[in-house]
Structure formats: C-alpha cells, structure tokens
Amino acid sequence: MRVLVRADASVQIGMGHRVRCQALVSAFEKQGWQCQFVVQRQCEAFANEADRIIDHESFFFAMAKQADLVILDHYAYQAQDITELYQHQPNLLVLDDMNDRGVFPAKWLLNPLQEVYSAQIQWPLIGSQYALLRDEFSHAVKNPFADKLLLTMGGTDPLGLTLPIVARLMAAGFGAHNLVVLMGANAKQAKQVAQLCEHHGIAFHQGLTEVSTVMRDAKLAISAAGSTLYELACLGVPAIFAQIADNQTHSLEQHLPLNWCRSIRFDHLSAAQLSTPLSQLVAMALDAWDSTDWLKQASKTAQHLVDGQGAERVVAEVMRHY
C-alpha cells in the first residue's frame, strides 16, 4: 500500500507539519505501508532525499490518483482545493488545527482539538488521544527529580525569540545550571545562541534526533505553542507558551483553561514591539518556577491529556475503515 504525504517545512512554515506527519509515517511503515513525502520546490532545503519535489500542485494531484492513501497537512489548501484533491483520491486523510477552511469532503479528518466538522467528513478523528507524537514519546517517562527550565522555540524559531529570552533570564539572575536550551537544526540565530550559552555555562542542544531525553528532565518549559505543546503534555511538563503563529490560537484556547500552561502572544507583533512581551514571558516563567503547588498539579493535568499513542490510533482507524 502506497501513501503520499503532502506537507512542507520552512523557516516561515516551521517544522510542525513535517514532524507530526513523520510520526504518522512511522506508524504506517510499521504496518508495511510505503510512504513518501511530496514537497514544493521552494521548501526543498527542508526535504529529505527520498521526498518527491514538485513545482506545481497539479503534479501532486496526478500522483494522488495512483496512491492508495493521501495524507494532507497543508494550510495553503482551502476547501475548494481539498475538494479537488478528494476527487482525485477519495482515500484522503486531512490534518487540521483551526477548522477555518469551510466545508470540504474527506474520508478521515484528524484534529487533536475538540472541533465539529460537516457530515462530508466520513470518519472524524477528534481529540487529544489522536495527537501525533514521535515514537520516542510512546515510552518516555518524566524524571521524578526534574530540575531544569527548558527553553525551546520550535524547529526554526522564526521570530528569533530564544536569544533575547536567554539574555533576560541571565539578567534576572536565573541559575545557568538550571537552564537547558534546545534548538532545531535550522533554527534562527542558533550560532549566537550557542555562543551566549557557552559564555554563561548553559546546556545547549541543537538538531537532536530524540528530544524526549532532554524534555523529561524539565521541571518547566518556555516553548513555542506548536506541536511541542503535545510533547510537553505527554511528559507532564508545565509550560509558558509563546504563541508565534495564528494557527496556535485554537489549541491555546482549549488548553489554557485546563491550567497546566500559560501564554503570551507574539505572532501579531512587529520586531520593534517584542521587548515588552518578552519581559512579560520571562517574568511569568520565573513566577511559575517558584510555584511548587501549581507545578505539581499542572504536571498531573498535562499527563492525562496525551499518552503518545495517537499515531497508532490513527493508523488503526484508517485500516479499519479503508
């Protein structure tokens, strides 16, 4: 059985779509399915050698006809585009976050948030039990003696928030031995961040194959609010989230009331407007760091939301209704 996965990654788009689709690909490959990513040429720098590179979506539509299953995780596709793709390949699984693209058909639709879709979706896969996490999270366990503040702004850190956050934490007197900085292989300003961390004696990691080994030692995280939200929840790590994209709005609206995380919004700000919210973010993290009761309860709440088995559940549902 052949699966085509339409997902892109770039500094602007981020790595989240690629990462969660890769989790799904791994689960399908365990069942013997053959999977291939299809990537637009302008995103080729973030592609793998085995990916199919296309110059126009019409090439993907032609390929979709020959596949057994198509997975679509791409915000550029609106209802009309998804409808056209469905006409080429009715065995279509759409990944969604915002539920803002109108009515469209699909055999399966996956959203880890509580959203309601039209009857044109044959098999909706809704809720955090379907959150797509990499294999490493299915068996990862939080360190009961976790004592680190983890700082991670996603795979690319498009707003360049890591560097000023580290600087503010050091200026506030936060212990360098308690801080761990994690950046993606293609993250913005990574060289400058690494130099600053070396200067202060801060643990710095970039482009790790497995991130759960670092996350499990975190007592608290300052993080971008993308797919990392579910990874932190799985390990029971309370978080202060920086919202860096509009597509993170619905997720935060549903998670903030559960009181395992807090957030500051950055996606609507210009570079000149970042200073005040950056200081607010750091102040919020420092306050949370000393809130022992909240940290304990928040960790328990988060761990009950996600168990790391989402990809396997999705594959099982697809195979059941194929």
The token pair at 59 is 């090439």
Residue pLDDT, tens place only, 227-251:
899 999 999 999 999 999 888 999 9
pLDDT in the model for residue 11? 83
Distance CA 54, CA 44 (A): 9
pLDDT in the model for residue 14? 83
pLDDT in the model for residue 223? 98
Residue pLDDT, tens place only, 122-158:
999 999 999 999 999 988 999 999 999 999 998 889 9
CATH 3.40.50.11190 placement within the chain: 2-133+308-320
pLDDT in the model for residue 236? 97
Q: pTM for the whole thing?
A: 0.92
Instruction: Burial-class residue 205 by CB neighbours within 10 Å (0-12, 13-18, 19+).
Output: middle
301: Cα within 13 Å, side-chain hemisphere: 15
134 labelled as ligand-binding? yes
Task: Please determine, for residue 118, whether its predicted confidence score (pLDDT) is greater than 90.
Answer: yes
Instruction: Burial-class residue 75 by CB neighbours within 10 Å (0-12, 13-18, 19+).
Output: middle
CATH 3.40.50.2000 placement within the chain: 137-303
Residue pLDDT, tens place only, 150-203:
999 988 899 999 999 999 999 999 999 999 999 998 888 999 999 999 999 999
Residue pLDDT, tens place only, 78-107:
999 999 999 999 999 999 999 999 999 999
pLDDT in the model for residue 186? 85
**Contacts for 115 with CB less than 8 Å, ≥ 6 apart:** 96, 99, 126, 250
In CATH terms, 2-133+308-320 corresponds, of 3.40.50.720, 3.40.50.10470, 3.40.50.11190, 1.10.8.50, to 3.40.50.11190
> How many residues belong to the chain?
322
Q: Which of 146, 162, 163 is nearest to 154 (CA)?
A: 162
How much is the average pLDDT of 254-274? Answer: 96
Q: Which of 228, 223, 236 is nearest to 284 (CA)?
A: 223
pLDDT in the model for residue 155? 86
C-beta separation of 5 from 37 below 8 A? yes
Task: Please determine, for residue 57, whether its predicted confidence score (pLDDT) is greater than 90.
Answer: yes
Residue 17 is among the residues annotated as catalytic for this protein: yes
pLDDT in the model for residue 154? 87
In CATH terms, 137-303 corresponds, of 3.40.50.300, 3.40.470.10, 3.40.50.2000, 3.30.360.10, to 3.40.50.2000
231 labelled as ligand-binding? yes
C-beta separation of 70 from 3 below 8 A? yes
C-beta separation of 214 from 208 below 8 A? yes
Distance CA 168, CA 283 (A): 9
